[in-house]
Amino acid sequence: ETGVTQSPTHLIKTRGQQVTLRCSSQSGHNTVSWYQQALGQGPQFIFQYYREEENGRGNFPPRFSGLQFPNYSSELNVNALELDDSALYLCASSLTLNTEAFFGQGTRLTVV
Amino acid sequence: AQSVTQLDSQVPVFEEAPVELRCNYSSSVSVYLFWYVQYPNQGLQLLLKYLSGSTLVKGINGFEAEFNKSQTSFHLRKPSVHISDTAEYFCAVKLNSIIQGAQKLVFGQGTRLTINP
């Protein structure tokens, strides 16, 4: 059984560009959550997808958007990148709602 | 809304000494409680969780935590630490609810545990 995998592991983008981060959930898991972890901070909830529908969103602007596919993998898209978007982006999958979250290794995004 | 406060940003201890990492939370409704560990350049790994039942919870790597409802605390302890325990530790809460938007983990700022030989 494979765990949660994220790609790419590292990424450098220029301010104003757009980025797509990908997450493959653990086998059988239908719920995916995304978190942003700025340097020296705890992770902050961005949004969650349950069976391809958004199921809650944190305090992030609309330029942060996502998708969940029929195989329950997920994407996080960020438009008009800002320097403050530089962070570790973590994906977590759960068997279903209200069950334990398993985290991937994260994608380190640097905006220059 | 829930919030989590980790009272120590850094905790240095000597190898084989005991350690306690403190966590207090705020919530008006029932919550689940978690401790995660993050090694350098890694994601988060679950150490232990409190869902219900016994207030003393045992986790991996010899860690344990005690849920104290009256003090709204969930402190993490280990009787004897090793060099390999050097990492960032995060306390987190989640509402005991399936209401939309309630499934998020709310994390503290983290405690950097450094083990010195």
Instruction: Give tens-digit pLDDT for A8-50.
Output: 999 999 999 999 999 999 988 999 999 999 999 999 999 999 9
Please say whether the dihedral angle defined by the alpha carbons of residues A96, A102, A105 and A110, taken in this order, is positive or negative.
positive
CB nearest B109 (choices: A41, A48, A58): A41
Give the containing element (helix H, strand E) for A40. Answer: none
Please say whether the dihedral angle defined by the alpha carbons of residues B104, A12, B113 and A91, taken in this order, is positive or negative.
positive
State whether residue A87 sits within 8 Å of chain B by CB.
no
Q: In Å, how far are A30, B32, B73 from B55, measured between CA atoms?
A: 30, 12, 11
Query: In this predicted model, what pLDDT tens digit does every residue of B48-92 receive, in sequence order?
Result: 999 888 999 999 999 999 999 999 999 999 999 999 999 999 999
CB atoms B106 and A33 under 8 Å: no
* Dist. CA A16–CA A2, nearest whole Å: 35
Instruction: For B43, name the nearest residue in chain A, comparing CA atoms only.
Output: A105
State whether residue B83 sits within 8 Å of chain A by CB.
no
Q: What's residue B31's pLDDT?
A: 86
CB atoms A43 and B107 under 8 Å: yes
Q: State both tokens at A91.
A: 């994906």
DSSP string, B2-71: -EEEES-SEEEEETT--EEE-EEEE-SS-EEEEEEEE-TT---EEEEEE-SS-SEEE-GGG-EEEEETTT
Residue recorded with tokens 């005690």:
B66
Instruction: For A6, name the nearest residue in chain B, comparing CA atoms only.
Output: B43
Contacts of A48 in chain B (CB under 8 A): 103-104
State whether residue B97 sits within 8 Å of chain A by CB.
yes
Confidence of residue A60 (pLDDT cuts 50, 70, 90): very high
Q: State both tokens at B68.
A: 């104290």
| Residues sharing a CB contact under 8 Å with residue B53, sequence separation 6 or more, in sequence order | none
Residue recorded with tokens 């509402």:
B95
Confidence of residue B30 (pLDDT cuts 50, 70, 90): confident
